[in-house]
Chain A
Amino acid sequence: MSPSSPPGGTLPAVHTHCPYCALQCGTILSERDGAVTVEPSDFPVNQGALCRKGWTAPALLDAPDRLRHPLVRRADGVLRPASWDEALDTVTDRVRALQAAHGRDAVAVFGGGGLTNEKAYLLGKFARVAMGTSLIDYNGRFCMSAAAVAGTAAFGTDRGLPFPVTDLDGAQAVLLAGANIAETMPPLLRHLDRAELIVVDPRRSRTADRAKLHLSPRPGTDLALALGLLHAAVTEGLCDDAYIAERTGGFDAAWRHAAAWWPERAEEVSGVPAGRQREAVRILARARHAYVLTGRGAEQHSKGADTVAAYINLALALGLPGRAGSGYGCLTGQGNGQGGREHGQKADQLPGYRRIDDPDARAHVAAVWGVDPRSLPGPGRPAVELLQSLGTGQGPRGLLVFGSNPAVSAPRSALVGERLAAADLLVVADFVPSETTQLADVVLPVAQWAEEEGTMTNLEGRLLRRRALRPPPPGVRTDLEVLRDLAVRLGQPPGRFPVEPREVFDELGRASRGGPADYSGISHRRLDAQETLHWPCPTDEHPGTPRLFLHRFAHPDGRARFAPVEHRDAAESPSVRYPLIATTGRTLAHYQSGAQTRRVPELNAGVPEPVLEIHPDTAARARLADGMLARISSARGSAVARVRTVDSLRADTVFLPFHFPGAYRANLITNPATDPRSGMPEFKVAAVRVEPATGWT
């Protein structure tokens, strides 16, 4: 499958998917005279569309500063080129030394939601079997963890969209809670053309601009608003009582909390007019086909799981989930944010979306891996706690990072940077330099999207083939090869860590068999034969499951569960010193920490630095004007951004995108307070003040 690159020739086009978000838009890559071009395919999610990130993705393949050989930090403190053997030996020698001195948990592993299923799976196995550490988690903790907890509690299993994206085409009404898809997933909007949109977002985002109804809550009050919506559904007589009786449990307990949130009270807390709350519920209730979809805006709070649960409660009260043409879904963010959360790179999890503290799951997976179940570690620590404990003596002393850039993407990133720098050993596998590789002791250059085979699971739980257009550049290995090379050096038999993605996938299938996310009937072969397969798919003959829950939910009694949730304040409230609320998010031109998109000249030229969105009155009071550089300060630190006044924004709120490095990192100011249920950090609410950034131009 990996044709060599004939200079001056044309390679056959390959059908693959965009390297970025969870839509995983279908693309066709071709190469002529060394130049790679991309065309959108007619894949049902994007149907011939692509956003700017997708169109310009080939530029990533020829990033001028591509990592092409391992780097090892020398005695002089400088990262210098090294051979693979030297780099790998350095890693394993130091892992062994740390573990010998301080125990197995002295070294941790940090993964990413962009890794293929094969890599995510093998990374989890590598941590538990080759390293024997309980400490593995991943950056999906910053994206999907809150929705995953709430979805599992409500439905018994968590698949972002339990229906195909194309089902949205028939929707008459869609509530988007904290999702700005016009910027983060533009092609998805094509499926919402006919629906009346209700958009919940403190900002009048480009998505909100398209909405029939825009609800603009004060950041951190989404849960109060969702309770107000449920209250309105009940008192306006809009609930589906028959559905509630037949298909759900726990309504009364959930209502007892929502009862205290009549819309006028939710208005007082959230600022969303009571009449708009009632209108939103009426729009949803009178639609024959309606959906409630949540995104990071609802989820990235220290009460993220409860907030999602409150939106699920609303969807259940209206009788939407598990009904053809209606439903609840969470819009997964990262490319493999779905598959990445199913196969064991999460602290408490084994492949197949199983729990690591479940004895049956341990026995099953240990048998597939050929190890004693007792040798498998127990649950580890969630990401924020893991990173903050690094190098403190209270946590791991070494960290291996695959496919993530926590120096930019983690909350309170100055502290995270300190912790990464303080670690006795930091190993980073990536394909371009990042703010995290700069801190590393060893950097391992790995293959990227169009140079490797594998599978991704997109936001609708559909398995997709990622295919190689061309081989990795000389000197670069695949992540699977790196894991095998490390495992063997740590004493594992080579056969236990296969490097062929197809082979890894088959093993993943066996490991997932019988679990909630059962991939065992899926194979590269079936996907290459263009079968449309959504998990669960338990046998080779099984057609996959495009729609979950149509007949029953995944709890033993088949019923969905309402959750009794109560509003609580954000971890931090504005004060005299920090009178405004900063909320963070994304822009269209960039993806995640920007390590990739900032290397695409067209994207970076368009959006080279972060823009602080601020209401003109608020800006004037802070002596800021359009085009000036502002310093945004919280109790954690300060970040710098270019001012853009936006008169549709709430005067108490400023917005900052998080894709930028150094002093521009929005996460320098974010609050690492986490949700007790999911470990999700509070990216969406920080108390700040703004002022002109003196000394910057």
Chain B
Amino acid sequence: MSGIVVIGTGPAGHRLVTRLRRHDGTAAVRVIGAERRPAYNRVLLTDVLAGRLRPGQLELPAHDGGVRVHQGVTALGIDRRGRLVHTDDGRVHGYDRLVLATGARPVLPVLRGLLRPDGGMAEGAAAVRTLADAARLPGEGPAVVLGGGVLGVETALALRRSGRDVVLVHRNRRLMNRQLDDRSADLLAGQVRSEGVVVECGRRVRAFAPGRVLLDDGRTVPCAALLVCAGVRPVTGLARTAGLAVRRGVVVDGLLRTSDPRIHAIGDCAEYDGTVAGRVTAAWDQADTLAALLTGGTGHYRGTPPATRLRGPRPELAVIGRPDASGAETVLLSDSERYARLVLDAGGRLLGGILFGLPEAAAAAGQHYAHGLPLPPARLAFLLGTRPVRTAPARPADDLVVCHCNIVTRGQLAAAWRSGSTSAAQLVAATRATTGCGGCLAEITEFSRELAGDGAA
């Protein structure tokens, strides 16, 4: 039997299979996944750490009955000539098209006490990549998070929200140093601290022992759980062994083909245009494009615009595009709680930006960036999420509509008053003001007082 074989049940593989079946309900698809449990949404792992979700709630929708899923099975090798995949359960799977969605594996820093002699991680230490990682963690006691990138920051905040004491150790002096500049990193560190996390930037962990870690400045920090968030490395062993082109990831073109046109790669294991995106949105885009291509459709992957949005509720941080790009215009806003740095091209379109503590602008900038819209000329209003102040043309007060349901103006009310309707109730009877939604009742009452005052004067 042949057809499409997908190796990997992470977000890329799962999305691909879902779309394949949606586009073509008869597509023959087999899935090989090393993890024993059904596919799940690893983006939400930090919610499990925070105690906001149970592990079972991360499960992805099951594929329909037409998809054969081999769970807990590891692919051992690819026979490209025979178009076969060999798996560790002794089976052989023929394919017309093979998709590698093998993902990435956490990078483990060189650190005394982190690994057991057998190569596994020491008790009390875990990466933050799989549900199995989360399950390894001791349920209570102080935690140390190693690595202050996006995942490290989210992990530290999640653990803190679950009520634990947390120390976040990051070797760079800036948190999220790949995304942030000095000012935004400072604000982020301040916010993370204000949530109760101890932030140690410019520090390394020298050693881990049950119950504590040793920092490079000689201090010892209590540690019941050490979470390693030091980045990931694409899983490329199968591809490499099969002789496919591999640099950091498995090299693919715009049709998501590897150097063997019958073999594709998507998600965290794939390298497109010199980059391994390593983001779930890129994995989804690639899966969507490939699903269309494999079911007779058209498409071309052209990269996924970089965007980082910390999952909330706090801090409100968005990094869009390439904030370090050089543009025609830079918009800066900085005060004690907020920061924005937007880089625009000559047409006013966003090339990149960092927004901290500006939730409205973060959302709006994301939309402007995604859809290539020029920023409004009123930059400050845009950043603050307010409406720009415009000098409205002077409008005679008489033309002001008081009651919108019945379109009654101040002029009409005044005229009715002069014709003898000299109370709020009589104004209502004469003009029908207030008789729709009733929202202008207070205004009519006030206006009639005003008119009564005029008469007295």
Contact = CB atoms under 8 A, between A and B. Distances in A.
Contacts of A606: 407
B366 interface: yes
B359 A274 contact: yes
A210 interface: yes
Contacts of B373: 651-652
* Chain B interface extent, by class: 35 or more
Interface string B55-99: 001111100000000000000000000000000000000000000
A268 B370 contact: yes
Interface string A616-653: 11000100000000000000000000000001100110
B52 A237 contact: yes
A271 interface: yes
* Chain A interface extent, by class: 35 or more
Nearest to A207: B437
A60 to B, nearest CB: 17
A181 B437 CA distance: 9
B395 interface: no
A272 B57 contact: no
Contacts of B405: 51-52, 182, 186, 588
A256 interface: yes
Interface stretch (B114-122, B173-181, B307-315, B444-452): B307-315
A50 B435 CA distance: 6
A51 B406 contact: yes
B376 interface: yes
B438 interface: yes
A186 B437 contact: yes
Interface in B41-62: 41, 43-44, 47, 52-53, 57-61
B53 A235 contact: yes
B425 interface: no
Interface stretch (A258-266, A363-371, A401-409, A540-548): A258-266
Contact of A256 (B47, B59, B390): B59
Contact of A574 (B53, B312, B371): B371
B225 to A, nearest CB: 22
B322 interface: no
A187 B436 contact: yes
A260 B60 CA distance: 9
A235 B366 contact: no
B325 interface: no
B286 to A, nearest CB: 16
A234 B406 contact: no
A259 B57 contact: yes
A234 B53 contact: yes
A697 B103 CA distance: 61
A663 interface: no
B57 A617 contact: no
A276 B360 CA distance: 9
B436 A49 contact: yes
Nearest to B390: A647
A186 B435 CA distance: 9
B61 A256 contact: yes
A278 B363 CA distance: 14
B232 to A, nearest CB: 20
A593 to B, nearest CB: 21
Nearest to B362: A273
Contacts of A616: 390
Given A49-B435, A52-B405, A206-B404, A278 B312 contact: yes
A265 B310 CA distance: 10
Contacts of B439: 182, 189, 210
A126 B366 CA distance: 55
A23 to B, nearest CB: 11
A236 B50 CA distance: 11
Interface string B298-329: 00000000010111110010000000000000
B363 A273 contact: yes
A251 B313 CA distance: 24
Interface string A164-188: 0000000000000000011000111
Interface in B418-457: 432, 435-439
A588 B439 CA distance: 15
B57 A264 contact: no
Chain A CB within 10 Å, residue with most, of B309, B406, B438 = B406
A32 interface: no
Contact of B406 (A55, A189, A206): A55
B437 A189 contact: yes
Nearest to A259: B41
Nearest to B388: A647
Given A256-B60, A278-B313, A262 B44 contact: yes
A187 B61 CA distance: 44
Given A55-B432, A652-B371, A272 B363 contact: yes
B44 A259 contact: yes
Given A182-B404, A237-B52, A273-B362, A257 B438 contact: no
A354 interface: no
Contacts of A256: 59-61
Nearest to A574: B371
B363 A235 contact: no
Contacts of B281: 265, 268
B359 A235 contact: no
Contact of A268 (B61, B307, B437): B307
A182 B377 CA distance: 31
Contacts of A255: 57
Interface string A590-618: 00000000000000001000000001110
B387 interface: yes
Interface in B357-390: 359-360, 362-364, 366-367, 370-371, 373-374, 376-377, 387-388, 390
B435 A260 contact: no
Nearest to A607: B407
Contacts of A465: none
B438 A49 contact: yes
Contact of A186 (B312, B359, B364, B436): B436
Nearest to B385: A273
Nearest to A615: B376
A473 interface: no
A235 B47 contact: yes
Contacts of A589: 407
A56 to B, nearest CB: 9
Interface string A246-290: 000000010111011011110110011111101000000000000
Interface of B: 41, 43-44, 47, 52-53, 57-61, 281, 307, 309-313, 316, 359-360, 362-364, 366-367, 370-371, 373-374, 376-377, 387-388, 390, 404-407, 432, 435-439
10 contacts: A48-B435, A51-B406, A182-B404, A256-B59, A259-B60, A262-B43, A263-B311, A264-B309, A267-B309, A268-B307
Q: Which 5 A-B pairs have the closest CB atoms?
A: A186-B436, A189-B437, A186-B437, A273-B363, A271-B367
Given A275-B359, A648-B387, 7 more contacts: A51-B406, A52-B405, A52-B436, A55-B406, A181-B437, A262-B44, A588-B405
